[in-house]
């Protein structure tokens, strides 16, 4: 009995065990956010920010291109001269010649690539419609004889069809018919939904399929797609640069755009360098 009492007294004199941990609501919320952020970083690794300048040698090339008079470069059937290239200076609105030249480079890279087109992140099998496609489509498929535009091209064998769209000669946006993902897509740097673009391209797809395959297009599983993460411009003149970069990114099978308004000065000069060489700059992985 005495032994039991002695043990009880020793137990009472011993330090008390720590109280069980009960995290507050805010602590639990913070833990969940950290976990979600870690998961998101693993699934969608953050892209490296774009540089602010080209390498010194490339910067000199760009200055030399801006100083030229007359013809600058050719790519396929597209050509750019000094008047066109001046549109790449800050504060200028891009014209058809610049955008179509950029589209021609995207197309050349796709058709000349030996990459595996089936893997995400690899170059896609693309077709690029020039800036003149959209106004012709608005005039009507039959009236504009758009079936002749694809006389030697099977668009249904491509991964994606890239389309620059000019809205009222005041704003450029990008659109795509994405066969791989079964989507009609619109990318607008001013945040407009562009339902007319989506509906017109659906109609085009149906008419083109009827013309080439002699049967209705199967829209099973197809959706209209407008990304909530589309980068937005903060002025009234950079829409053409945004549009070119949307199209170039899509041609690589990417959906996350690694540029914002702050990257426009760099991207304008990079585009000049690319146009001068008639070749797109290799993108970091």
Residues belonging to the active site: 171, 188, 239
**CA dist., res. 241 & res. 56, Å (int):** 22
The pair of three-digit structure tokens given for residue 234, joined into one six-digit string: 């903060």
DSSP one-letter string for 153-188 = --GGGSSEEEEEEEETTTEEEEEEEETTTTEEEEE-
Q: Pairing state of beta strands 160-167 and 171-178?
A: antiparallel
**CA dist., res. 277 & res. 73, Å (int):** 7
**CA dist., res. 103 & res. 78, Å (int):** 9
Residues 241, 94 contacting (CB under 8 angstroms):
yes
Residues 85, 65 contacting (CB under 8 angstroms):
yes
């Amino acid at each position: 009995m005495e032994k039991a009492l002695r043990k009880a007294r020793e137990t009472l004199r011993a330090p008390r065990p720590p109280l069980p941990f009960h995290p507050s609501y805010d602590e639990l919320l913070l833990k969940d956010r950290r976990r979600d952020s870690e998961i998101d970083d693993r699934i969608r690794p953050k892209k490296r920010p774009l540089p602010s300048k080209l390498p010194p040698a490339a910067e000199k090339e760009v200055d030399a291109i801006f100083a030229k008079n007359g013809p600058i470069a050719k790519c396929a059937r597209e050509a750019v001269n000094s008047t066109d290239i001046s549109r790449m200076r800050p504060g200028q609105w891009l014209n058809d010649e610049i955008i179509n030249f950029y589209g021609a480079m995207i197309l050349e890279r796709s058709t000349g690539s030996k990459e595996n087109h089936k893997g995400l992140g690899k170059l896609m099998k693309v077709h690029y419609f020039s800036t003149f496609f959209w106004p012709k489509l608005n005039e009507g498929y039959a009236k504009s004889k758009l079936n002749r535009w694809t006389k030697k091209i099977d668009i249904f064998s491509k991964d994606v069809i890239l389309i620059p769209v000019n809205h009222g000669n005041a704003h450029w946006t990008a659109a795509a018919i994405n066969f791989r993902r079964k989507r009609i897509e619109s990318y607008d740097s001013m945040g407009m939904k562009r339902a007319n673009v989506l509906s017109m391209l659906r109609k085009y797809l149906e008419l083109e399929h009827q013309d080439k395959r002699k049967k209705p297009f199967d829209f099973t599983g197809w959706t209209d797609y407008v990304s909530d993460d589309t980068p937005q411009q903060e002025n009234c003149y950079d829409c053409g640069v945004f549009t070119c970069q949307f199209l170039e990114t899509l041609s690589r099978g990417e959906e996350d755009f690694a540029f914002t308004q702050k990257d426009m000065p760099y991207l304008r000069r990079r585009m000049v360098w690319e146009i001068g060489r008639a070749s797109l700059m290799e993108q970091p992985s």
